[in-house]
Amino acid sequence: MWNGLATSENGGSAILGYDLWRDDGDEGDFSRLSNSDVSMALSYTDRTPCQSLVYRYKYRARNVNGWGAFSDVGYLYAANVP
């Protein structure tokens, strides 16, 4: 889950979509997880991580001016439920 952009962060235009990216769990290149430019979802359930890897995630938002900069990178350690 990530936070939507506040009015002061959207460049004065409504957000039209979010774009989520993840690396391969081995500090490789990022790949886009969504297949749509119009997703307004603020959460994503990733069902493909391999246990014991640390994945990096980042997202960006789009408005009438195009895509904004990517967020800071977030980290997720894939583990089983204890």
Domain 7-77 falls under CATH 3.30.160.150: no
Residue 3 CB burial class (10 angstroms; 0-12, 13-18, ≥19): exposed
Return the domain boundaries, the chain: 7-77
Once rounded to an integer, what is the mean pLDDT over residues 16-44?
84
Strand, helix or coil for residue 30: coil
Q: Is the pTM of this model over 0.85?
A: no
pLDDT in tens, 2-13: 667 666 676 778
State the average pLDDT for the chain.
Answer: 83
Distance, CA of 60 to CA of 73 (rounded, Å) = 11
pLDDT in tens, 58-81: 998 888 888 889 999 999 988 887
Contact by Cβ (8 Å): 39, 16: no
Residue 5 Cα to chain centre, angstroms:
13
Q: Tell me which residue has tokens 């350690």.
A: 77
Contact by Cβ (8 Å): 66, 25: no
